[in-house]
């Protein structure tokens, strides 16, 4: 059996553990993924991770306010090119999208944000591209 190649480019991946000044964040295209998404979406690496820096967290079980502030700091202190949030279709998971939007606003930078909703059966249900905008 041929092994699939991992597309993971950084370590650690848990948002709680990622240093805000990690060199791999400069010029990065960030993928912020809810913890469950790589398990539900069997082709996660090929479909979503290639060329991106992965950050993971759970908006229900982890400290969402801490994540929002940490992500805003990462966005402020690094030249991040884009942010994609991948989350599950379950209601609690949308909190990751909300905290990402707030973090972009708090960063006071014009960073393109896109969201990808994954179904509990492993299919991509929805992809949204939000225009990059400066906070009002």
User: Distance between CA atoms of 3 and 95, rounded to whole angstroms?
Assistant: 34
How many domains does one find in the chain? 1
Q: Is 132 helix (H, G, I), strand (E, B) or coil?
A: coil
14 inside domain: no
Here the CATH number for the domain that contains residue 61 is: 3.40.50
Is residue 1's pLDDT more than 90?
no
34 inside domain: yes
Q: pTM (2 decimals)?
A: 0.92
Task: Give the CA distances from residue 87 to residues 68, 76, 111, 128, in Å, rounded to whole numbers and listed in that order.
Answer: 15, 23, 19, 12
- Averaged pLDDT, 45-68: 94
- Residue 4: band (very low, low, confident or very high) from pLDDT cuts 50, 70, 90: confident
Range of the domain at 50: 23-130
């Amino acid at each position: 059996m041929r092994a699939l190649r991992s597309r993971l480019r950084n370590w650690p991946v848990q948002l709680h553990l990622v240093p805000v000044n990690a060199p791999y964040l400069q010029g990065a295209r960030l993928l912020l993924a809810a913890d469950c998404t790589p398990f539900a979406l069997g082709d996660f690496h090929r479909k979503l991770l290639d060329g991106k820096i992965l950050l993971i967290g759970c908006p229900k079980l982890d400290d969402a306010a801490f994540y929002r502030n940490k992500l805003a700091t990462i966005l402020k202190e690094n030249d991040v090119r884009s942010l994609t949030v991948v989350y599950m279709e379950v209601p609690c998971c949308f909190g990751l999208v909300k905290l990402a939007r707030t973090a972009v606003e708090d960063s006071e930078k014009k960073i393109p944000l896109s969201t990808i909703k994954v179904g509990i059966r492993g299919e991509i249900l929805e992809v949204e591209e939000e225009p990059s905008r400066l906070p009002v």
